[in-house]
Amino acid sequence: MRCFIKPAQAEVLIPVGVMREMEAEAERHSPHESGGVLLGYPDRTNHRWVQITLQIGSGPKAVHRRHRFEPDGEWQVRKVADAYAASGRISTYMGDWHSHPHGSHRPSGLDRSTARRIALCEEARAPHPLVFILHGGPNDWQIAAYRRERWRLGRCKATITEAP
């Protein structure tokens, strides 16, 4: 998938139900970090937006720490494959999300290098991965959305919608 959205021009549409699921996962593990995987599809007409359809949490064997977390990757891969099949091969991997409890909305060096590895990983098929950071909490989470374009993560607009 080639997509030529400039990060500042990109809009990411997030259903309120998906946002609530991410907030619940972040809340469950706060003050430690948590996170997950984002699935959805891009606008293939004018390349101006990305629709998120589903989030998959960190998994039962994830390790949650104060300033990082390690997802249960095998579990996530199975869940992504199941969701992809169930969507009729429409909803695909779009990127990751994680929490910064009581922290900044800004991506860390690790966040940037993870986005770079995803962009360069052929299996991920996400040359422009999204990175969502839920910051703040508890019970007051804010979202910052980023998209990797060329060699940097650029902030993009996140819009919470009623339905996909």
CATH number, domain with residue 63: 3.40.140.10
Here the tokens at position 107 are: 């991506």
Write out the residue range of the structural domain in which residue 86 sits.
Answer: 7-161
% of the chain with per-residue pLDDT over 70:
92
Q: Is residue 66 part of a domain?
A: yes
Does residue 1 carry a pLDDT above 90?
no
Q: Is residue 2 part of a domain?
A: no
Q: Is residue 29 part of a domain?
A: yes
Q: Is residue 99 part of a domain?
A: yes
Contacts 24+ apart (CB under 8 A), 72-81: 76/36, 76/37, 79/37, 80/37, 80/39, 80/56
Q: Is residue 98 part of a domain?
A: yes
Q: Which of 81, 88, 80 is nearest to 37 (CA)?
A: 80
Domain total for the chain? Answer: 1
> pLDDT tens, 137-148?
888 999 999 998
Which of 21-25, 67-71, 100-104 shows the highest mean pLDDT?
A: 21-25
Which of 29-33, 113-117, 124-128 shows the highest mean pLDDT?
A: 29-33
Q: Is residue 89 part of a domain?
A: yes
Q: Is residue 77 part of a domain?
A: yes
Residues 6+ apart with CB under 8 A from 68: 33, 110
Q: Is residue 1 part of a domain?
A: no
Model confidence, pTM: 0.88
Burial class, 155, CB count within 10 angstroms (exposed 0-12 / middle 13-18 / buried 19+): middle
- Per-residue pLDDT averaged across 124-144, rounded? 87
